[in-house]
Structure 1
């Protein structure tokens, strides 16, 4: 089949792939190691006293890096301030808002999947709308959507891919992908392999005018949660993709142009394995630091307890109100005294920006920076 990047790829094959790849020896070997790494990470998530805290830490990194893949950048400092609600709305830059929407989409999608126990079109649409802050849906049949090279690339602006286009065509291919993901009787492929295959398919279908990359990366994590391979959507998958961005797009185009599924699947399984190991190390580092900080805090302050310690590690920047509400302390003087003690004990640092004071968990930030 001849492929012309300037013409809509209406002949995009339906799933599953015609060529059987699940029995390939190299794919099977990589599937074993990546599944094992993912299982280890999933087990270690339960070591955290409150696993949902990862949505505020590791998932925030995923959000920041996933948007950076789309050339949307924000600084750690501004992002952490915005998350902790210490930055006023009018001072939050558009790029930071994009990152925060991604994180919210991750969390919203997680709740949808837990409730429905499947990835469906409604889940995909709601995830996309949360990411884009939009009410739009699948791109209209007449919209001339194309994928071009970025401005920083050689031959910038050149069309490199034209997704399927036509009345009902995108919807039909999306329905096929959704059926492939959910029907484990008809399509009995290992779920990790299904994730790899469906991620290519989603990006090739390109159902939305914008935001497909971010939506696809959220769907990867939601599907792993849906199939019980991941307790929380906190795999830092975008870091590997960002580091190996050229390979990511090269292997995507390889499937489109030559039906080269094996290199693409090996790439994605390697991404899962390496980022599972990274996430696992982050969890271990965070729990170890939490334990050390709890011992230190209790030795310095009578009021310091396990709940306060967990709150301090829930996000890098901490508002005094969070601790006040937790301890039911309403006195501003008492709360100021407590935070002074936290700074003196070097559990928190602080910085000033005009009249605003920010209390920072520097140990957590260093762990997240790797």
Structure 2
């Protein structure tokens, strides 16, 4: 356990350092957050892909768009809400309720009291099973607030336990309390992200740990249940730390590839765009936070005529930086595909 803890600490340190070396780190957090949102939601059965989410945010209304994409968009919003609140509100029952309300707003489960701790019994098991057939029955509703209060006290106690161990324990305990009628898995995984950032283990939310949980989904569920049935905390923590190590290294490599891609495309713009290279660089930086754009958006960004913006976008297309995605002559959208693929390729490999 000590060896794994040491390796996890080093891997997280490298990841945090690699993100800090990126120019304008906040620009690059955008895709890490959306990757985590997609994967965490897929664990719960959604089918939406990273590209679906980006298209939805860019207001591309594809006829084959997954209906559950709004659930993933809500996950992104819940994470952003929680991170914005952290400077003023520590990880607490209040914050957990707030992000739960954001998560379920206007989507499947929105009728199940978003933001409110359950007042009825729930259970975990195969679809349609009864309480007697359940794999696990969480605490009765009258005990939930007490258990959440104890969890909150544990998170902010002076225990000498290493932070990673404390976070691993907290995730299982939250999932075991199962305080809401829906969304417990996603909130529990958001809790990991908030704790990493609150404790300044990572300065930015760039650890998409749900990649590991989804890759080992059956083992993930079995490990959680084994702790409840048999108290196998050490086995769970070993699993958790191995996940932190694997995903930290993967996310660090992604940061390296982002930096290389940016340098390559900056060089292309400098060499190929002539007198509009300055505006080209502005658009390139914009693409890291908005990887799907329209000519109108580019026009607004650089403050030129529509014709000038259209000519600039054409240079991006001619140099294989952007690709048109709609196939239309009007209301066209252009995708920064090579950047998206740095994140999307791993998702596709996991699904294969």
Q: Under a length normalisation based on structure 2, what TM-score does the superposition of the two structures give?
A: 0.89
TM-align CA RMSD = 2.2
Alpha carbons 1:106, 1:233 under 8 Å: kept: no
Provide the rounded CA distance (Å) in 1 between the counterparts of 2:294 and 2:194.
30
Match of 2:173 in 1: 201
More off after superposition, 304-313 vs 193-202? 304-313
Please, which of 162, 176, 183 is the counterpart of residue 211 of structure 1?
A: 183
Match of 1:66 in 2: 40
Shift in alpha-carbon separation, 1:166–1:102, aligned structure 2, 3 A = closer
Shift in alpha-carbon separation, 1:47–1:324, aligned structure 2, 3 A = farther
Provide the rounded CA distance (Å) in 2 between the counterparts of 1:202 and 1:132.
18
Match of 2:349 in 1: none
More off after superposition, 123-132 vs 352-361? 352-361
Q: Under a length normalisation based on structure 1, what TM-score does the superposition of the two structures give?
A: 0.85
Alpha carbons 1:57, 1:315 under 8 Å: kept: no
Please state if 1:103 is matched with 2:76. Answer: yes
Match of 1:154 in 2: none
Aligned residue runs from structure 1 range 1-370, under 5 A: 27-87=1-61, 93-116=66-89, 118-133=90-105, 134=110, 136-141=114-119, 143-150=120-127, 158-167=133-142, 169-183=143-157, 185=158, 187-301=159-273, 302-305=275-278, 306-329=281-304, 331-354=305-328, 355-368=330-343, 369-370=345-346
Alpha carbons 1:237, 1:275 under 8 Å: kept: yes
For residues 202-233 of structure 1, give each alpha carbon's deviation from its aligned partner in whole angstroms, at most 9, with x where no partner exists: 00000000000000111101100000101111
Alpha carbons 1:49, 1:310 under 8 Å: kept: no
Shift in alpha-carbon separation, 1:137–1:348, aligned structure 2, 3 A = closer
Provide the rounded CA distance (Å) in 2 between the counterparts of 1:166 and 1:237.
30
Q: CA deviation at 1:334?
A: 1.4
Structure 2's unaligned 5+ residue stretches are: 347-352
Provide the rounded CA distance (Å) in 2 between the counterparts of 1:209 and 1:220.
20
Alpha carbons 1:163, 1:204 under 8 Å: kept: yes
Provide the rounded CA distance (Å) in 1 between the counterparts of 2:283 and 2:333.
17
Alpha carbons 2:47, 2:66 under 8 Å: kept: no
Q: CA deviation at 1:269?
A: 0.7
Provide the rounded CA distance (Å) in 1 between the counterparts of 2:183 and 2:230.
26
Provide the rounded CA distance (Å) in 1 between the counterparts of 2:141 and 2:81.
31
Match of 1:23 in 2: none
Shift in alpha-carbon separation, 1:297–1:158, aligned structure 2, 3 A = farther
Count of paired positions:
334
Q: CA deviation at 1:182?
A: 1.3
For residues 29-69 of structure 1, give each alpha carbon's deviation from its aligned partner in whole angstroms, at most 9, with x where no partner exists: 11100111011101111122222223421211111111000
